[in-house]
Amino acid sequence: MRLSPEVDGIERVSPRQRLRSAFLTGFAVTIPLIVTLLVLGFAVNFLTNTVNPFVGVVNATFGTEQLPELVIEGFVLAVALVSILFVGLVAELSPANGTIDRSVTQVISRIPGVGSLYRSVDEMSELLMNSDTESFQDVKLVEFPDENSYALAFVTADTPEVIETATGNGEMTTLYLPMAPNPVMGGHVIHVPIERVCDVDMSVEEGVQSIVTSGVAVDETEDAAVADSVGTATEGE
């Protein structure tokens, strides 16, 4: 005789179901932590590789070869952060706000080969850091890299008419398709016919969060939406 899974209103949970539930719970808890550690590891490696050339300069100048390399790297990084803060304060407190930034941009832009790269990075940093811009305020879905495979992208501008004419398309839109987990370090600028772009009910913050967590935050958002809808239905009853 097979026992009913529910006795006296109490649902019995098999060991297999418990293990599955525990595994899913552990997965949900640890994956965001792992992704965070990966992003932090990438940032630490990037900073370490950046300051390494200056470590030799500090050692040669001050004769600090006997000190641990980690201490010298920390010192160089601290000096760099203080310098960035000092430059920012001077730029903001100067009578003609923005003059220093424009002057630096003009000087570097005149350097062959370096100027174009600097202008591109400068424009992208302004786009990502300026909360008042309207160019980065809409999230879309676009087929990438294959048909029926969709990626999150951000509307940046209307496509120039010269591109629409060259491709023989009608209305198009220009999208920035960032790469996970660091949308600042790389991505694709694509021009897509408007009919190939799908609207999605996500804010810019949710879109960026989904990218930097490699999609983990999408599940969290959906779970929260389901919980809200269930709670509303229960209250209605």
Q: Where are the domains of the chain?
A: 94-129, 139-230
pLDDT tens, the chain, 237 aa long: 444 454 455 557 788 888 888 887 787 778 777 777 777 778 778 777 887 888 888 888 888 878 888 888 888 888 888 888 888 787 777 666 566 667 777 777 788 777 777 776 666 666 555 544 445 668 899 988 888 888 889 888 788 889 988 998 888 998 988 887 766 667 888 999 988 899 998 888 788 888 877 777 665 544 444 344 334 434 444
Contact 141, 192 (CB under 8 A): no
Closest CA to 39 of 217, 189, 170: 217
31 exposed, middle or buried (CB, 10 Å; 0-12, 13-18, 19+)? middle
Answer yes or no: pTM beyond 0.75: no
**Three-state SS sequence of 91-135:** HHHCCCCCHHHHHHHHHHHCCCCHHHHHHHHHHHHHHHHCCCCCC
